[in-house]
Amino acid sequence: MSDAFNAEVKQILDALGVKSVNSGATTGGSNGWLKTKGKELVSYSPINGKPIARVSMAEKKDYDEVMEKAQAAFKTFRMMPAPRRGEVVREIGNALRANKKALGALIALEVGKIRAEGEGEVQEMIDIADFATGLSRQLYGLTMHSERPEHRMYEQWHPLGIVGLITAFNFPVAPWSWNSLIASVCGDAILFKPSSKVPLTSIAVQNILAPVVDKYGVEGVFNMIIGSRDDVGEPMLHDKRIPLISATGSTAMGKHVGEVVGGRLGRSLLELGGNNAIIVTEDADMDMALRATLFGAVGTAGQRCTSTRRIIIHASVKEFFVNNLVRAYKQVKVGNPLDNDTLMGPLIDEGAVLAMEKALNAVKSSGGKVIYGGDRVSVEGCEGGHYVRPAVAEVKNDFPIVRSETFAPILYIIEYNSFDQALELHNDVPQGLSSAIFTTTLQYQERFLSHRGSDCGIANVNIGTSGAEIGGAFGGEKETGGGRESGSDAWKGYMRRQTNTINWGKKLPLAQGIEFNIG
């Protein structure tokens, strides 16, 4: 395994231009890499715990240099017509198409996702590039009638500035595209700080888009910097030159971001924790519900913010559902995510495994029951990896551990008797990201989607909680942060709105009929 693994690692890295030791900062383009000399950051593969490559992290002086170039680039880039900016993004999308398999394999290698999910994340980037390209010709304002004669009023949208982007390990590149590609067609520059757990995928993306940056002369627009919290993270939050910080991560992290950025009256776009539930009614299509539950709970080893955490199921069908679910869980092959027949890869690191074990112990101590899984799995040839069996546990919704998010493949089964009770259980958690119901009853469906139903930012009927499409705005309520990225009118978050009134007459009437005469 070792020789074959090393050969595959080299093939993937070579295809994407990732070196054994990489710079931790770039202003984009082939000549934009800084000669960083900070502490060495090692990227370990969760497949077997082995190092893949290293990054020389950026220091505070590197951060200052990147910010200066980003400021200068923004002043030029904002003057480029939006459709021309859309052309830049279109070519980035084409570059991603050409590198889809290699980048998807690197995601599997560095994050532990199976190949299909890694390539799916790259496809999401390609889709958002297409979306943003079309959006570049649709940055519409409004016109409205003035109450004053011979006046014209309208709204227009201007580029905002430098967008600071902080992402999590589980989706190392898709949120980059949601923010960077839409922000760039809006005329903004981007300063991207990826998770230090998965630095190589972001380096690969910078290599992929470098020829496009060179072709259009937009160095300083797509910036990336890998560094410590003290050298990079905190300076970003406090930097008044960055009007918007978009951050993906835990609720605790989001609260800190919101407090610091809000303290300087900046904007924050927060995509935080989820505690996503599926309500399964007594008349649900059980086959569909089981399939959606399996993917939602097991996909990415339960390390999605939209992973299915809770099944709220009618008492009359609980036994049938759970028995069939456990039967399906037993067929899930846990193993090397680079193998095509693997359905669930490893957790990201040992800390994630320990968090899962701690959560299951809390379930037991609270009076719950682990029905299946939760134990560590030994995978031949992948010694040193972080493999577990996905777990199913029967619990009460008010258990403290159930009300918090554990980033691991743990699925909680919660019984209900009336639909009012199901809705109450569903909403009675601090988080509010994604939700779903499986039912064939119109009244259940419509109540779930009404203002009295799901309190989440995403509410689905007869599909699961994960796998959101890029055309809709993505985000959630309550402790999920309230942010919206990707589709719909999320682009407005990356621009500043301006209301304009033009007096084309010869008089100066005031609004609301006020008269202010002198003499």
Q: Which residues are catalytic?
A: 271, 305
Phi, psi of 80 (to 5 degrees): -70, 130
User: What is the crossing angle of helices 442-449 and 419-427, to 10°?
Assistant: 30
In the numeric block, the tokens 């469906």 are attached to: 445
CA–CA gap between residue 322 and residue 315 (Å, rounded): 11
Query: Is residue 426 within 8 Å of 325, Cβ to Cβ?
Result: no
Q: Distance between CA atoms of 182 and 475, rounded to whole angstroms?
A: 16
> Which residues, 6 or more positions from 215, have their beta carbon under 8 angstroms from its beta carbon?
91
Beta-strand relationship, 308-314 and 410-416: parallel
| Residues in contact with 256: Cβ distance below 8 Å, sequence separation at least 6, in sequence order | 237
Q: Tell me how far apart the alpha carbons of residues 293 and 14 are, in angstroms, rounded to a whole number.
A: 37
Other beta carbons within 10 angstroms of residue 18's beta carbon come to: 24
Contacts 24+ apart (CB under 8 A), 95-99: 95/208, 95/209, 95/211, 95/212, 96/122, 96/125, 96/126, 96/129, 96/208, 97/126, 99/15, 99/16, 99/204, 99/208
Max Cα–Cα distance, the chain, nearest Å: 94
* Strand locations in 227-374 (E): 244-248, 267-271, 276-280, 308-314, 369-372
Sign of the dihedral through C-alpha 158, 164, 170, 172: positive
**Residue position matching structure tokens 């690969």:** 204
User: Where are the strands (E) in 418-486, listed by range?
Assistant: 431-432, 434-438, 458-461, 473-474, 477-478, 485-486
